[in-house]
A = this chain, B = another copy of it.
Amino acid sequence: MAHEIAIESLTREAFASFGDVLEIGTVEPVMINRGMCARYSDLAHLDFDAESRLGISIFDAKAYELPLQLEMLERHPDGSQTFLPTTQEPFLVIVALDKEGTPDKPRAFLTAPGQGVNYHRGTWHGVLTLLAPSRFFVIDRIGQGANLEEYWFTTPYVVKQSTLQD
């Protein structure tokens, strides 16, 4: 089944080639506010071209159903893009390595509750792929230019619930 994609659990290690996983437990926290709050600092590599800046937006998105026909991946050449969930609902994170300017075979990750993700600048990724409708805070580049490349697969991949691993 060359065009099926197995869903993997999202971990910092597995995702390192694509971006950052925003979660606690990977850096030592600093206790602040007289012991009432643990601060886990600086968890994402934010990266954008000199002509732009970072902004915070809200994405209000519908849900997709599995099996999912994956027809397209996109990438943003001019900046990283961070997705921060506003609920504890897991969502799908679909990415691919670049192979001479087009995406290699995609990988699909299912987040654990509360994990956020930051796609490194230029990383091929699917659109925000929710399994339940939700809102996300998004930190990305605000500036001129399209900052978007799309790649449409000749034959769509299929992300299937039955291929859920772990």
Contacts and interface: CB of A to CB of B under 8 A. Distances in A.
A139 interface: yes
A164 interface: no
Given A29-B60, A37-B62, 14 more contacts: A22-B56, A33-B61, A36-B61, A36-B62, A36-B127, A41-B142, A42-B57, A43-B58, A46-B55, A56-B82, A87-B87, A114-B135, A137-B137, A139-B139
Interface of A: 22-24, 29, 32-33, 36-44, 46, 53-62, 64, 82, 84-88, 114, 116, 118, 127-128, 135, 137-139, 142
24 contacts: A24-B58, A32-B59, A32-B127, A33-B61, A33-B128, A36-B128, A37-B59, A37-B62, A37-B127, A37-B128, A38-B59, A39-B58, A39-B59, A40-B57, A41-B55, A42-B57, A43-B55, A43-B56, A43-B58, A46-B56, A56-B118, A84-B137, A86-B86, A86-B87
